Chain A
Amino acid sequence: MRLEPIPNPSAARRLGLPALALVATLGVAMALALIAGANPLAVLGQIAKGALGSKLAILETLNRATPLIFTGLAVAVAFRAKLWNIGAEAQLYAGAIVAVLLGTGALGSPLVLPVSALAAMLAGAALLLGPVLLKTRLGVDEVVTTLLLNFIMLLFVSYLLEGPLKDPMGMGWPKSPALIPEARLPRIVDGLRLHWGFALAIIAAVVVWVIQTRTTLGFEIRAVGQNPEAARFAGMPVNTVLVKTALLSGGLAALAGWSEVAGLKGHLSSDLSPGFGYTGIIVAMLALLHPLGVILTAIFVAGIFVGSDAMSRAAGVPTYIADMLLATALLFMVLAILLTRVRVVRG
């Protein structure tokens, strides 16, 4: 078999195939439910109900979506330039550490929130700067270095929580002291458990969209991603563009950790992120790397996680069904997107 480009793919093809990918994922969900000995339709219903069935469920889904919007944006920005930042998990923790360092009394109101947000972004950006400089200067593959940094960062967090950042009142639990009230992100609406981190995530998505569509940097990022050789030939500073992309990407990922600490948890613990950095890759890919699409796919992915937790308690299907579905959706989606542009021919 070989692939033949389709000159002008029809709208039906461009929209139908991604939709088919989602339907196929639902099929996999039902098959997994059957394997687990549960009623497939009931399982799907319980996932939907658990994610969206009540005001509380919706708020929980939006809260869970908040860090995923940030990490999804971080990945979308980087992958657009074919900069493979798989280190969003580590950059997230860099932001979380800064939130604790500056939020436990070092700074007071009204400086603490804006300063710690900026410092968190700088920390995340700095963390990705190393791998990207190794890539541009020495040709070291950034996939492996960013992946390895995730493990180093988790150990560093563990060290901080047992040493310098240990909560003296923690009763032996490895967690940091609580943030002072002035360093906490307030709720958007009084009485509703949804913090300003969610609103900031939406704003970040719009800002990234504006950067990508309305600025020279956005144009350069796309050009470098599509064909670095051509971009270099056209006189673009490819390495500088990659460094700028990395700073933006690392900063966005750091905001995920910063907002989880300042908005939701109020302290740092080593289980702050159940893999938000890695899930950001799925969020970004499902959104076709579009920053505004990331908002929708992050809510979708968060809904699958929150819904699966609720479903698992009720129907007894392991909650890991969510991870399987999302990985399946990712693979189906990249294949569907390819098939919107090419057709398979014999020979």
Chain B
Amino acid sequence: MSEIVDILISASFWAAVIRIASPLILATMGELICERAGVLNLGIEGIMVIGAFTGWMAVYQGMPLWGGVAVAMAAGMLFGLLHSTLTVPFGLSQHVVGLGVTLLATASASFAYRLMLPEVTSPPKIQPFQPLSIPGLSDLPWIGTALSQTALTWAAFAVAGLVAFTLYRTPLGLAVRAVGENPAAVEAQGLSATGLRMGAVIVGSGLMAVGGAFLTLSAFSSFFFEMVNGRGWICIALVVFGAWKPGKAVLGAILFAAFDALQIRLQQTSLGAVLPYQLFLALPFILSILALILMSRRAEVPAALMVPYNKGER
């Protein structure tokens, strides 16, 4: 027990929590925007892969780090365009299209990787984002260590704030939320339900891809095929856990990251000597399922989530 307390009060633990939460926050915000507009985006897992790959490849080819982020975002938006074209105006099954987009995006990343680096056995490394040194803050004893984070982490939290502000404090956000509840009413206001939904999916997919790019550009400095490893699906669970609200979703991501950081450290303790390491690795997935069960009764699902809107039908 004292081992766990030691972990929980260490600054490096909380630094890891914030680091692990960052890609989850970005991708969860992306999914949240899509779902608030009424579209479930199961492309998230593949879009994170394509973001991780394109961002890393752009930097490896000589672009600056922020250029890599932009490339990842553009690639994500492209797959968002594909997803939303099929699910919004054509109203195709969001389940099938989403899984198709995930398969296509994942395969595209693998194909392009092998095409561009046919001979390599271990992927080349890039120089990733470095922790920012903030005058005054970085010198503080405990907080300085915990907040020793890269610019992309700060950006992730800024994005969450921006998403919350846009959704609840701007006419655009009101329209996006409305189109997820009652698209016909939005059309009656003279706005395009199709345009709003497609826009939300495209922007959301861009954020998911940046979440993926965080893994290569800020966390691991290299690209591996299995590196996203279910994080996209976990983000879908986080949206439900956060009851489709940005603030709660961020808290969920941090809570989740805390468990993830804890399980990595617990493997090194006396507990890790007794229990198989696979149990620790499975903890994030088990927690996600528990979170879904816990929130099942309380969730305020957008009323028109997964309901296609066709002007012809009344």
Query: Which chain B residues lie closer than 8 Å to A2 at the CB level?
Result: 310-312
Q: How far is the CA of A1 from the CA of B85 in the complex (A)?
A: 12
Contact of A17 with B by CB under 8 A: no
Q: How far is the CA of A156 from the CA of B115 in the complex (A)?
A: 34
Say whether A155 contacts B278, CB under 8 Å.
yes
What 0/1 pattern do residues 274 to 306 of B give for CB contact below 8 A with A?
001011011001101100110011000000000
Query: Which chain A residues lie closer than 8 Å to B107 at the CB level?
Result: 320, 323-324, 326-327
Shortest CB-to-CB span from B312 to chain A, Å, is: 5
Q: How far is the CA of A86 from the CA of B312 in the complex (A)?
A: 32
Contact of A321 with B by CB under 8 A: yes
Residue of B nearest to A138 (CB): B296
User: A331 touches which one: B97, B240, B282, B285 (CB < 8 A)?
Assistant: B97
Shortest CB-to-CB span from A216 to chain B, Å, is: 26
Q: How far is the CA of A8 from the CA of B115 in the complex (A)?
A: 46
Query: Which chain A residues lie closer than 8 Å to B165 at the CB level?
Result: none
Say whether A144 contacts B293, CB under 8 Å.
no
User: A335 touches which one: B92, B115, B229 (CB < 8 A)?
Assistant: B92
- With contacts A1-B89, A328-B104 known, is A152 near B115, CB below 8 A? no
Shortest CB-to-CB span from B26 to chain A, Å, is: 19
- With contacts A3-B91, A330-B96, A334-B93 known, is A152 near B296, CB below 8 A? no
Contact of B95 with A by CB under 8 A: yes
User: A3 touches which one: B97, B111, B310 (CB < 8 A)?
Assistant: B310
Shortest CB-to-CB span from A271 to chain B, Å, is: 12
Contact of B100 with A by CB under 8 A: yes
Query: Which chain B residues lie closer than 8 Å to A148 at the CB level?
Result: 230, 233-234, 237, 285, 288-289
Query: Which chain B residues lie closer than 8 Å to A30 at the CB level?
Result: none
Q: How far is the CA of A15 from the CA of B86 in the complex (A)?
A: 21
Q: How far is the CA of A75 from the CA of B99 in the complex (A)?
A: 13
Contact of B114 with A by CB under 8 A: yes
Say whether A151 contacts B229, CB under 8 Å.
yes
Contact of A316 with B by CB under 8 A: yes
Residue of B nearest to A134 (CB): B293
User: A36 touches which one: B91, B115, B240, B276 (CB < 8 A)?
Assistant: B115
Say whether A327 contacts B104, CB under 8 Å.
yes
Residue of A nearest to B45 (CB): A147
How many residues on A have C-beta within 8 angstroms of the other chain's C-beta atoms?
49
Q: Which label, helix, strand, loop or mixed, suits the secondary structure of the B interface?
A: helix
Residue of B nearest to A329 (CB): B100
What 0/1 pattern do residues 266 to 291 of A give for CB contact below 8 A with B?
00000000000010011001000000
Shortest CB-to-CB span from B76 to chain A, Å, is: 16
Q: How far is the CA of A334 from the CA of B288 in the complex (A)?
A: 30
Contact of B103 with A by CB under 8 A: yes
Say whether B110 contacts A144, CB under 8 Å.
no
Query: Which chain A residues lie closer than 8 Å to B207 at the CB level?
Result: none
Say whether A86 contacts B292, CB under 8 Å.
no
Say whether B100 contacts A144, CB under 8 Å.
no
What 0/1 pattern do residues 132 to 163 of A give for CB contact below 8 A with B?
00100011110111011101100110110011
Query: Which chain B residues lie closer than 8 Å to A53 at the CB level?
Result: none
Contact of B42 with A by CB under 8 A: yes
Say whether B115 contacts A35, CB under 8 Å.
yes
Say whether B282 contacts A152, CB under 8 Å.
yes
- With contacts A84-B95, A151-B282 known, is A324 near B111, CB below 8 A? yes
Shortest CB-to-CB span from B185 to chain A, Å, is: 17
Contact of A4 with B by CB under 8 A: yes
Contact of B127 with A by CB under 8 A: no
Query: Which chain A residues lie closer than 8 Å to B230 at the CB level?
Result: 147-148, 151
Say whether A156 contacts B278, CB under 8 Å.
yes
Contact of B221 with A by CB under 8 A: no
Query: Which chain A residues lie closer than 8 Å to B86 at the CB level?
Result: 331, 334-335
User: B110 touches which one: A320, A326, A345 (CB < 8 A)?
Assistant: A320
User: B106 touches which one: A84, A140, A281, A323 (CB < 8 A)?
Assistant: A323
Shortest CB-to-CB span from B90 to chain A, Å, is: 6
**Can you list 26 A-B pairs with a CB-CB distance of less than 8 A?**
A2-B312, A36-B115, A138-B293, A138-B296, A144-B233, A145-B292, A148-B289, A149-B285, A151-B233, A152-B282, A152-B285, A155-B278, A155-B281, A155-B282, A159-B279, A162-B276, A278-B99, A318-B115, A318-B118, A320-B114, A326-B103, A326-B107, A328-B104, A334-B86, A338-B92, A347-B311
Among all A-B residue pairs, the 7 with the closest Cβ atoms: A323-B107, A318-B114, A327-B104, A327-B103, A159-B278, A320-B111, A138-B296
Give 13 new A-B contacts, CB below 8 A, not counting A134-B296, A148-B289, A320-B110.
A32-B111, A138-B293, A144-B237, A147-B230, A155-B281, A155-B285, A158-B278, A162-B278, A163-B276, A327-B103, A328-B104, A330-B103, A334-B97
